[in-house]
């Protein structure tokens, strides 16, 4: 994890395009994801939060992964939106998310955006609205992670990159 931290630090301090990825209050309405997952201390409840409930100087990470073929997947829907705000269900069967949440915590970040858990999957309107902002979600992410394969649940199969 120390190597990942050092790469991110080099990126943020030595790359002009990465150095100042903060936005003004006017930009915030459009650039901050509508929903994020709050990943606090280990063993704390992970819950969905709305943009209005996060600090102005938010840092969040993003995850890309192939999730459509995963069996027993958990996704955000209209029906579970309110319960996700109280806490997402245990993800023990989906070790990928458990590992990702641990990486986010260890990098000292409190929020992560994962499309399957932050976009309402059974709402065409939500998908269209969120898809129109997705390039900004990734662009303004503190750090982007992607998984090479949905067959491997090890965090060591995850690569961490800066957008």
The share of the chain scoring above pLDDT 90, in percent, equals 28
Region 14-42 average pLDDT: 69
Region 47-58 average pLDDT: 87
Ramachandran bin of 63, using left for φ above 0, alpha for ψ from -120 to 50, beta for the remaining angles: beta
pLDDT tens digits for range 66-76:
665 666 678 89
Give just the sign of the alpha carbon dihedral 110, 116, 117, 122: positive
What is this structure's pTM? 0.81
């Amino acid at each position: 994890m120390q190597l990942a931290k050092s790469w991110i630090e080099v990126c943020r301090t030595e790359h002009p395009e990465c150095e100042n990825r903060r936005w003004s209050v006017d930009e915030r309405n459009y650039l901050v994801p509508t929903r994020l997952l709050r990943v606090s201390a280990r063993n704390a409840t992970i819950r969905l939060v709305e943009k209005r409930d996060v600090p102005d100087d938010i840092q969040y990470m993003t995850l890309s992964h192939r999730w459509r073929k995963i069996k027993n997947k958990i996704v955000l829907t209209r029906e579970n939106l309110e319960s996700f705000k109280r806490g997402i269900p245990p993800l023990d069967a989906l070790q990928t998310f458990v590992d990702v949440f641990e990486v986010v915590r260890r990098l000292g970040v409190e929020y992560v955006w994962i499309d399957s858990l932050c976009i309402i999957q059974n709402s065409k309107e939500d998908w269209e609205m969120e898809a129109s902002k997705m390039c900004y979600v990734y662009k303004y992410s503190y750090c982007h992670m992607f998984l090479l394969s949905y067959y491997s649940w090890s965090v060591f199969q995850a690569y961490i990159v800066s957008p």
